[in-house]
Structure 1
């Protein structure tokens, strides 16, 4: 009876952790999109100080709530835009609030991972690492503000977000060990080699995209936000490299999709992930076309970035499930087994 009760409790704890981890991953992706909205709307310095906003925990809604000499106090940090803009201020402030909420969700995921100390310690310690990295991400966010949106700092901020997503996806996938069945796949070494190439190329494309975004920041400084229809033409070679490289991304992922369907048996997580990757790439291309030919609508940039990170995440999880016996290897005393 005791063993049956313990097993039930363990299953309930595992189920709670999986739900929290899944929601947390979704929230981190939303945070990436919200951050992209902040950047694409030029609201990054909407709050010129950190952690407060214009010296207050609740930012002002109109200029009359600010000190009379606020232009002198914050003028340098506002990068010349000394006129108060409530929309930009609250856009940045909501981004910060959402970031704090994300931190709370990751802390809740960490608490939910404590029962895994008895069955799979890696899940707990990686959840702890994620929580610590989120704290570091908050500190890095402060440095982004203090550096007045230095492009290198923004890129590092985004790369750390990708690392956090990958760790969360790993612990989430690992928590499913023994509960789902992965279809059999032949020629795994061949597919693995291609998948690693695809991951490297996709990450390179994302990094090139950050360079395009940094170049766009310089264009925006010169032309302003009212000249969106001129941004793309002013970007130069980096944009065309990024656009041309997308052909390689589509081709290699389509090749991977073909191999998975050729060598896998049945319809399981691996085929589902392969389909998801191609669907994400289709949306990614669509948002890129919208940016290039429709004067870079504000929402298109954050969507483009979010789907790029989603593509990387799906490719990473595909690698995990394809090599489940190796990457999810548990301790000798664990009851968990890869099905």
Structure 2
């Protein structure tokens, strides 16, 4: 089951990348039907098949590279779904003590896969309607996160609950640990909200709305409207390819995405500082991983704006976002599972007093008997 989970993790990361490429190459409607492509299992290549396809969908001429991009994404996602269903079946078949948690996670994954299939269909049939595209991207990230949690749950318990060793007496710190858990969950919610803002920016084609940084159109908030940024466009059976929002709406979406990035950076940085100040046994590697990916993501976001969204940078921005999300989930898992300890001041002071007392019992090499 662990090996199959590892395969699913690699595949879901590839699917996220393929989904990003599909959007960036404007291939979201490369196949105007679902689950096939112009009525075929693969994009039409022969001239007679292309004629049939274009007669069935006269408003959508065949563009081969876009059709292939879309179908590769669909088949990769379908393969991932089959693996997840297999993991769910294995979870219900196993009788290990830790399996109830595994069953819960795999069942949630299967439900998300079913929803993702529906969102994939609606993305095509509703012609890239931004709310559906946003939820579809968010579902991919949730699948990635749950697979990471599943993989960490399958780790043998002896490798996850070994606290940092020290000669100093330590005790569990339940209140600080609870506060760190609570704050970590808050940061998780903010991170999910920021990923949603990124998806909303992409689905509304607002990535090029602000070609400068840190200002937007050489302004700060003058052209920003909260109402326009989060207004849901009305569906009217017309394609949303390349976006149908006005310039002010796109600017507003981009600005709020940047504000969300700043809030996420501040809260995530505070969480990492608190983690480093704890005595968590894995605090250094976890902090280094999350901090490095956070810095890289900020840099890619800035370059995406000032370099006008080049394909490699835009793709990397999506993939690093997934890695940052996954690394934070890993950190949150170990914060919850591995005990955090601090020095016990009572035992520490007692041991200090005892050592001083023992040193005073020996004067000039002669032992002084104690009262006890």
* TM-score (norm: length of structure 1): 0.77
Q: Partners of 1:255 and 1:29 in 2: how far apart?
A: 28
Structure 1 residues 118 and 40: alpha-carbon distance in aligned structure 2, compared to 1, 3 A threshold: same
Superposition CA RMSD, Å: 3.1
Match of residue 84 from structure 2: 106
Match of residue 346 from structure 2: none
**More moved, 27-36 vs 158-167:** 158-167
State yes or no: 1:97 paired with 2:75: yes
Which residue of 299, 302, 319 maps to 1:289?
302
Give the structure with the larger helix fraction. 1
Match of residue 214 from structure 1: 203
Match of residue 18 from structure 2: 34
- Structure 1: which 5+ residue stretches go unaligned? 1-16, 226-230, 327-339
| Equivalent runs, 1:109-188 vs 2, <5 Å | 109-114=87-92, 116-119=94-97, 120-182=99-161, 183=163, 186=173, 187-188=176-177
Match of residue 259 from structure 1: 274
Instruction: State the 1:262 CA deviation.
Output: 1.3
User: 1:278 aligns to what SS in structure 2?
Assistant: helix
State yes or no: 1:52 paired with 2:36: yes
Instruction: State the 1:136 CA deviation.
Output: 3.0
Match of residue 329 from structure 2: 316
State whether residues 128 and 240 of structure 2, in contact with CA within 8 Å, keep that contact through their aligned partners in structure 1: no
**More moved, 86-95 vs 122-131:** 122-131
State the Cα deviation string for residues 290-326 of structure 1 (Å, max 9, x = none). 2101121123333322322332232223222212279
State yes or no: 1:276 paired with 2:300: no
Structure 1 residues 222 and 160: alpha-carbon distance in aligned structure 2, compared to 1, 3 A threshold: closer
Q: Partners of 1:234 and 1:193 in 2: how far apart?
A: 35
Q: Partners of 1:106 and 1:302 in 2: how far apart?
A: 25
* TM-score (norm: length of structure 2): 0.70
Structure 1 residues 44 and 250: alpha-carbon distance in aligned structure 2, compared to 1, 3 A threshold: same
User: Alignment length, in residue pairs?
Assistant: 297
State the Cα deviation string for residues 230-271 of structure 1 (Å, max 9, x = none). x999931221222233222222222222221111244x3x44
User: 1:323 aligns to what SS in structure 2?
Assistant: helix
State whether residues 207 and 305 of structure 2, in contact with CA within 8 Å, keep that contact through their aligned partners in structure 1: no
Structure 1 residues 43 and 265: alpha-carbon distance in aligned structure 2, compared to 1, 3 A threshold: closer
State the Cα deviation string for residues 153-211 of structure 1 (Å, max 9, x = none). 11121222233223322222221141313435852133223322321221221122222
Structure 1 residues 247 and 132: alpha-carbon distance in aligned structure 2, compared to 1, 3 A threshold: closer
Instruction: State the 1:62 CA deviation.
Output: 5.5
Q: Partners of 2:34 and 2:75 in 1: how far apart?
A: 12
Q: Partners of 1:277 and 1:219 in 2: how far apart?
A: 27
State whether residues 148 and 326 of structure 2, in contact with CA within 8 Å, keep that contact through their aligned partners in structure 1: yes
Which residue of 166, 178, 191 maps to 1:202?
191
CA radius of gyration, larger in: 2
